[in-house]
Amino acid sequence: MAATATAQRTEEIVDGLAGLEGPLLPILHAVQEAFGYVPDEALPKIAEKLNLSRAEVHGVVSFYHDFRKEPAGRHVLKLCRAEACQAQGAEALVAQAKARLGVEFHATAKGGAVTLEPVFCLGLCACGPAAMVDGKLIGRLGAAQLDAILAEFGA
């Protein structure tokens, strides 16, 4: 999408949400929903419209792990990193996913099939280890099930 189209769509989003109390986070979520990530070109427009510095907007984008600086893969795998899931073997699943995909967290596997992201609690503490695959929650994730999911995604 051309920078001008990005700026125009960003401006439409900001204009629609700027009246909210504390509008920055809802605006950033809407921008990510529209583009699949928060483009660098959107930050100056958001800052200008909300009377914030670009550094303030960039700081929020970089602080929250849910915001992406580049498009995600065709599938997104989020592995829970909270203590309850770690106690149930999540670290082995993290190592398995990283090895299989050949990437670290916040990266997309070669070919764009899967983006691997950490998440710090999915609310499935009694069913750990937990994951979210393309928005779908999975509890009691095991190594064989993780392999099957990654194979299904071509990874």
pTM for this predicted structure: 0.81
Q: What is the pLDDT of residues 44-56, one digit of tens each?
A: 999 999 999 999 9
Which architecture, in CATH terms, is 75-152?
3-Layer(aba) Sandwich (3.40)
Percent of the chain with pLDDT strictly greater than 70: 98
Q: Can you give the pLDDT at residue 3? A: 57
- Identify the band that residue 65 occupies on the pLDDT scale cut at 50, 70 and 90: confident
Q: Which residues contact 66 (CB under 8 A, 6 or more apart)?
A: 29, 32
pLDDT in tens, 103-147: 999 999 999 999 999 999 999 999 999 999 999 999 999 999 999
Instruction: Give the per-residue pLDDT at 96.
Output: 98
Beta bridge partners of 137: 132
**What whole-number distance in Å separates Cα of residue 133 and Cα of residue 144?**
15
Q: Is the pLDDT of residue 1 over 70?
A: no
Ordered by start, the domain boundaries in the chain are 3-63, 75-152
CA distances 90 to 6, 66, 80, 130, 145, Å, are 38, 20, 7, 8, 13
pLDDT of residue 110: 92
